[in-house]
Structure 1
């Protein structure tokens, strides 16, 4: 009678949940596994014919949960969250917690108390995946890094597709061990989808991506879980910073710069005090995103972590905001000794770094005569030609320009020929000038003799007399 009253009280105390939040597991086979969502309900089939079993006991690694003889049973733990229905041999546990995970054992005894059979069941409680986000970032060589982020979910598995087909080696450059971060090759575009699942839930995000071109302000990622980390963000872009490894294990934390507290929280619970329109915190991934970066965002940030006794640990991060490089131009000039000077001009960009290739390989000493300290100006040796590429990058961006070079030609023979021709023309002009002068003089003498023969004789005689005296 007491057992029946206890069962009725248990039924009145237990509020059933909807079937949508329930998971059914079979614990009648030894070595079974059961996956259940955190906060949900599990219904486990323990026995088939309870009335035929003299004695049974169900326990986890810590305590005995229920013990009974036929339909008569008693419960030792989970009084407010469990219900055993002996007529059908099932136990129902609601509002599952992480501490409910573990191995459960059912021991069956005969009438003499000897253990006839033991069955083990592995119960695994997982947080479901939710709020899937895709974050893209163009890298220095115009590959695209894509991160698939979720706000929750234990042991997530990731599957990627492009235009609903599995990614191929011609599209995928690399992926991390967890497969939540991939790098796509240059010029890959289309409808990219990330599917995230674990044993009890599923999430999905799809996004149209375009091939990376010359840098536009986008996302950069950095890890601030180590002290004295350094992080770069693009001016006008977004930076995603991983602050902690596991916030749930941290009683209290604050993230701040030199002027104010940006984030304060306890475990996964947090509130923001500044940057409300430019930041958001992904609690499940322990990441904070800062968008529309300005130069004033550069500086030192500090994460203060407090343990349960109030002891403080500091982690510092140096954030550096840079203007991205853009608009690269190549200007070439032939020098006097037939070398070629090439300048790589970039309209903007903080701390640019330059690299050069010729027909796909790094310039060698046999090709390169001189290189400027900042490497934006080079001088190529005589007779060098081919496809020259100048790549300009800094910590947040990349741009390049290429130009086909032709060998500088020797124009000295042409110059000498032109000078010789000019000399011939000049001498010919002088000769023609005096020839015309002489012709005009002869015509003048002939005309004078005809018109004034006496005067001309007198003049001629006078000239002869002068000549004799000399």
Structure 2
């Protein structure tokens, strides 16, 4: 009967949710169970040597065993005790199961032989995780992580299988549920939510956010620039309070129509208009957003009160810069600068914080992507690559390419001197050993190939 009851409880426990295990053999143990789930509490190693024992919850006896027979189990409809291994299983856990549990053992004379306690905490498990990310105005990415259910959730983040570093965070830290990533951060982002009974995670592939730009379109004929994949804020007017009706057209097609409120927005899934400050924001920009935009305003009689145009250009932003330098003949240094992405990139150079001069350049100029520096030029060289929507730079510390000394700095001089000294030492050592070996060979009065030795061999034969 006990085995059948145990099997029923096991099956019932599996059907309800999370199972946890707790070692309650140490006094003062802290155990955790999942709300609606099952907990296995290891009360003792073996019951064979214990004549009588009982388990109390908040001083009320819930289990009583004597001579290996379970005489009382107040929650037997959802709990079972296994005398063979000393495990007490509670199924379908509720908040009421939280509390202090005391195990008391008795000897054959009925005297208490031992007593220890444990504390059981019931927590709601985390059931699911939701991640939401959005690009901010300067190309940062805000990512929020929320969990359904779950008492006392703890958050952690990984990117491509590793913990996020401080260099990748713009604000907050790795244990918050909302983070802001710096520009150009991409990869597989995972938010993990855990508590003492569950550990659930959500993965999302994120890409680098496009750069946010701003354009003042209040002047007729304005030229605006937006970053491919990014966001542009176009200032159409100072205030809309005095404008009775207005509309924005792109290539002669109405995309925004306002009369007291926004009545029409053909790209509302990625564009917003703010009547309070007259700003029109377009997100997730594509090449198709390039074109002529016309703002038309009307008075209360429906007559045109003004027309302004602007032109929007969409450019791919520069995402990274690579610098490569090499020494050339006569001690000159050739430096090339290349950029990843970026429409119409423009280059500029600085050395130690100032613009390179013609006196320092052997070829190229301050706006070329390849330059050649004259002899004896050293310092912190920076190549900046920019277009109308981005500005990225790369710094490299360079040293002189002296013909006689093609390595930088005093440290290199010391190394060379040391190498020369070692070479001289081993050469001297080798010659000394050769002299010692030569002096150790016995010198005969008559060399082996002399005429006398040949005659002696002949007479002997």
TM-score bracket for the superposition, by shorter chain length: 0.3 to 0.5
Taking structure 1 as the reference length, what is the TM-score of the superposition?
0.43
Taking structure 2 as the reference length, what is the TM-score of the superposition?
0.44
Higher Cα radius of gyration: 1
